[in-house]
Amino acid sequence: MEKQFVIDDFKLGESWRLFKIMGEFVDGVEALHDLGPAVSIFGSARMGPEDPVYQKAEKIAGLFAKNNFAVITGGGGGVMEAANKGAAEAGGTSAGLNIHLPFEQKPNNYANICLEFKYFFIRKVMFIKYATAFIAMPGGFGTLDELFEVVTLVQTHRIRPMPIILVDSHYWGGMKEWIEKRLLADERVSSQDMEILHFMDDPEEIVSFVKKVVIF
């Protein structure tokens, strides 16, 4: 049986695992290097097609596909499925970067580019490297992890500035208020850092905003 805690399993004499890591990087680059302008869409796996968030993610992805953007997701269910579905049904490129997990994450059927990852950090590199914008739909710890990693890379100038949009002002409003009242007020971040994040609700406005600031 394969061990669950893969990152803890590096021991003396097991450096051969680095070749598996290199292999995942190679597979990702080979599959995505000519993707063109793309948006990465993050969000919860824990919702179905009846959920308004699912429906909005599907619409946003479809609009991006119709405007010549590829759509990249984590390849699973919920928001990821919705975004892959919206892009695929609009005739666009729909990439799903699935992660092997013991629960919850199963590949959806709507990605026309499918990749499988064992290591989270390689998967996140692919989300970031090939995206020209990032869309965070309502989600949990995984979405927060992906969101703040991208924010930190932009803040520290490790990647080029690009739109980072949080969709659903009601869902994200409390976090925005906390950042302003705690981090900004206590000078843990600057007012310029706050400009990295954009809070929007309307799908057409989101796509229009990205088109204005992204250089093809």
> Is 15 inside any structural domain?
no
- The per-residue pLDDT for 11 is 62
> Is 164 inside any structural domain?
yes
2-5, long-range: CB within 8 Å, 24+ apart, which pairs?
4/102
Q: How many helices (H) and strands (E) does the chain have?
A: 8, 7
> Is 14 inside any structural domain?
no
Residue 179 burial (CB count, 10 A)? 17
pLDDT at 13 over 60: no
> Is 4 inside any structural domain?
no
What does the block give as tokens for 86? 């919206």
CATH of the domain at 119: 3.40.50.450
Domains contained in the chain, number: 1
> Is 22 inside any structural domain?
no
> Is 75 inside any structural domain?
yes
Percent of the chain with pLDDT over 70: 91
User: Alpha carbon of 99 to those of 96, 142, 203: distances in Å?
Assistant: 10, 12, 27
What does the block give as tokens for 127? 């989300």
- For the segment 119-141, what is each residue's pLDDT rounded down to a tens digit? 999 999 999 999 999 999 999 99
pLDDT at 58 over 80: yes
DSSP 8-state secondary structure symbol assigned to residue 8:
G
Among candidates 39, 52, 57, which has minimal Cα distance to 137?
57
pLDDT at 104 over 60: no
- The per-residue pLDDT for 3 is 57
More confident residue, 102 or 87: 87
Domain that holds residue 129: 36-213
> Is 99 inside any structural domain?
yes
What pTM value is reported for the model? 0.91
Among 10-24, 27-41, 104-118, 185-199, name the one with the lowest average pLDDT.
10-24
Q: Which of the four pLDDT bands, split at 50, 70 and 90, describes residue 105?
A: low
Nearest-angstrom CA–CA distance, 185 and 42: 28
What does the block give as tokens for 71? 């759509």
Helices (H), the chain: 17-32, 52-66, 79-89, 120-129, 141-155, 169-178, 191-194, 203-213
- For the segment 42-55, what is each residue's pLDDT rounded down to a tens digit? 999 999 999 999 99
> Is 19 inside any structural domain?
no
More confident residue, 137 or 14: 137
Q: What's the whole-number average pLDDT of the chain? A: 92
Q: Which of the four pLDDT bands, split at 50, 70 and 90, describes residue 151?
A: very high
- The per-residue pLDDT for 107 is 87
